[in-house]
Amino acid sequence: MDRITGKVKFAIIGCGRISYRHIEAIQENNDAQLVALCDLNLERANEMNGTAHVKVYEDYREMFSAEDIDVACIMTPSGMHAEHAIDIITSYRKHIVLEKPMCLRVSDGLKLIDTARSVGVRLFIVHQNRFNKAIQKIKTAIDNDLIGRIAMATVRIRWSRGQSYYDRDPWRGTWALDGGALTNQAIHHIDLLRWLTGAIKSLSAVAKTQFVNVAVEDTACAWLKFKNGALGAIEATTATRPLNKDLEASISILGENGTVIVEGAAVNKLTLWTFDDTDTREFSEDPPNVYGFGHNHIIDNVVDVLKNGGEPLVSGEDAIESIKLLSALYRSIEEDGREVSLKDDPVSGRLGVIDAATEKIANLYRTDAVMRSRKK
Ligand SMILES: NC(=O)c1ccc[n+]([C@@H]2O[C@H](COP(=O)([O-])OP(=O)(O)OC[C@H]3O[C@@H](n4cnc5c(N)ncnc54)[C@H](O)[C@@H]3O)[C@@H](O)[C@H]2O)c1
């Protein structure tokens, strides 16, 4: 595709909880322009348009026909990501910024990667925590072999989501369109663990739904064996009480040359660094919520790649590895904690499966189905 010479023109599809971070990041880049917002629920789009003052659409097909747009930022329900992105790539040939998790089924993600490649558009996946100052410091240290052989790498997520969170939208808490604490919340930290420590050979996981009435898990734990010999652990829950306080999202890496620990509610505070006399406060941030500041890095990267060339900071090919890991975790959970090998491509039997029973929920988010039902 030709490089873009003027401003890179963005549209947002899905004006829910996370959309304001994309709007802010686009507005904060001088070479980016927000052109339109789209949501099947026009009220939500209008609400988000409070600071944006752009055109608002309920049907993205109309939006792409009417507006000059380079990039579609998709933040619809997780189980619809791949379907929406593939439709927008094939029908309208747009570059895609896709919220985490990039898809729920590995097969859908691979199809999306192939589609983007064959049409010649770029895919940018939002794993914004990779750009936290503390995480970047660990990544550089690992790449420069400062930490040495890793004995153990651990992530711990102790966030809080109550019943009202799941009741807010029909897709939440379903296997078909959301997944549980591992998929919706801990995917950030699962991605970090893999990105920092390396590929995983095998794992075992267990999960339960403790304090809410939903199909998916609110609590899970897993142990992992990395290909490089390290051991790992994941502790992930949204069942922390009292409600509505995200307590902790942390990572510890114990290497032969020393230890690094990042804590805070959003892996945002470097609290232990034993390799030199680094002032840990310089690598600690105070974001207003667990979304952090990383969306700016993603949008800045989109603009840079489309104007100047280069590669996405988080490509589809990279992010799909975290979905493979997620799928393996669920497969082990579905088999009562059996150790599963990643080389066998273990697949969850229920995450992202849209069947006759869940088709109705998916149709709430399919533009053609929604528009047809509104015309009746
Ligand atoms: N990176 C992060 O930190 C972060 C944080 C929150 C959410 N997310 C991800 O963003 C996605 C959305 O989450 P949310 O909490 O904002 O959800 P949400 O339910 O608040 O918003 C989703 C919006 O998408 C709209 N939508 C659905 N299908 C559509 C379609 N075909 N056309 C136009 N609009 C459509 C819905 O009407 C809804 O308003 C999820 O995949 C979630 O995992 C990421």
Q: What is the 3-state secondary structure (H, E, C) of 69-83?
A: CCEEEECCCHHHHHH
254 alpha carbon to ligand 1 midpoint, in Å? 36
Number of Cα atoms under 13 Å in the Cβ half of residue 363 = 12
| Amino acid 310: pLDDT | 94
| Amino acid 292: pLDDT | 87
Binding-site residues, ligand 1, Cβ < 6 A: 13-18, 38-41, 44, 60, 75-78, 80, 84, 99-100, 126, 128, 169, 184, 291, 365, 367
Ligand 1 atom with the smallest distance to the CA of 172 is 19
Helix/strand/coil for 297: helix
**Rounded to whole angstroms, what are the CA distances from 354 to 83, 87, 104, 171, 330?**
12, 17, 11, 12, 16
pLDDT of 366 over the 80 cut: yes
| Amino acid 212: pLDDT | 98
Burial class, 121, CB count within 10 angstroms (exposed 0-12 / middle 13-18 / buried 19+): buried
| Amino acid 296: pLDDT | 96
Look at ligand 1, atom 2, and give the residue with the nearest C-alpha. Answer: 291
79 alpha carbon to ligand 1 midpoint, in Å? 10
Q: pLDDT by residue (tens digit) across 133-160?
A: 999 999 999 999 999 999 999 999 999 9
Q: pLDDT by residue (tens digit) across 86-131?
A: 999 999 999 999 999 999 999 999 999 999 999 999 999 999 999 9
Q: What angle do CA 179, 181, 182 make, to 5 degrees?
A: 80
15 alpha carbon to ligand 1 midpoint, in Å? 7
Tell me the average pLDDT of the chain. 97
Among the four given CATH numbers 3.20.20.140, 1.10.3720.10, 3.30.360.10, 3.30.70.270, the one describing domain 130-289+320-344: 3.30.360.10
The packing angle between helices 81-92 and 106-119, to 10°, is 20
| Amino acid 37: pLDDT | 98
Ligand 1 atom with the smallest distance to the CA of 19 is 16
Ligand 1 atom with the smallest distance to the CA of 41 is 37
pLDDT band, residue 331 (cuts 50/70/90): very high
Q: What is the mean pLDDT of residues 305-331?
A: 98
Determine the residue of 12, 13, 15, 18 to mutate for testing ligand 1's pocket, defined as the one with the most ligand atoms within 8 A of the Cβ atom. 18
pLDDT of 2 over the 90 cut: no
Range(s) within the chain of domains with CATH label 3.30.360.10: 130-289+320-344
346 alpha carbon to ligand 1 midpoint, in Å? 27
Ligand 1 atom with the smallest distance to the CA of 184 is 43
pLDDT of 325 over the 80 cut: yes
Q: pLDDT by residue (tens digit) across 259-291?
A: 999 999 999 999 999 999 999 999 999 888 889
pLDDT of 221 over the 80 cut: yes
Determine the residue of 58, 63, 81, 99 to mutate for testing ligand 1's pocket, defined as the one with the most ligand atoms within 8 A of the Cβ atom. 99
pLDDT of 376 over the 90 cut: no
78 alpha carbon to ligand 1 midpoint, in Å? 7
Range(s) within the chain of domains with CATH label 3.40.50.720: 8-128+295-314
Q: What is the mean pLDDT of residues 41-61?
A: 95
Helix/strand/coil for 262: strand
The two counts, helices (H) then strands (E), for the chain are 12, 14
Look at ligand 1, atom 11, and give the residue with the nearest C-alpha. Answer: 75
| Amino acid 347: pLDDT | 97
User: Do residues 190 and 277 touch, judged by C-beta distance below 8 A?
Assistant: no
- In sign, the C-alpha dihedral spanning 167, 173, 175, 178 is positive
Q: Which pair of structure tokens corresponds to residue 43?
A: 């009220």
Ligand 1 atom with the smallest distance to the CA of 60 is 32
23 alpha carbon to ligand 1 midpoint, in Å? 14
- In sign, the C-alpha dihedral spanning 63, 369, 125, 18 is positive
Determine the residue of 24, 39, 80 to mutate for testing ligand 1's pocket, defined as the one with the most ligand atoms within 8 A of the Cβ atom. 39
Give backbone dihedrals phi and psi of 188, rounded to 5 degrees, phi first. -55, -45
pLDDT band, residue 1 (cuts 50/70/90): confident
| Amino acid 77: pLDDT | 98
| Amino acid 81: pLDDT | 98
**Identity of residue 188:** H
CATH class of 8-128+295-314: alpha beta
pLDDT band, residue 357 (cuts 50/70/90): confident
Look at ligand 1, atom 41, and give the residue with the nearest C-alpha. Answer: 78
Which residues have C-beta within 8 Å of that of residue 258, sequence separation ≥ 6? 147, 148, 273, 274, 275
350 alpha carbon to ligand 1 midpoint, in Å? 21
For the chain, give the percent of residues with pLDDT over 90: 95
pLDDT of 216 over the 90 cut: yes
Quick check: pTM over 0.95? yes
| Amino acid 289: pLDDT | 85
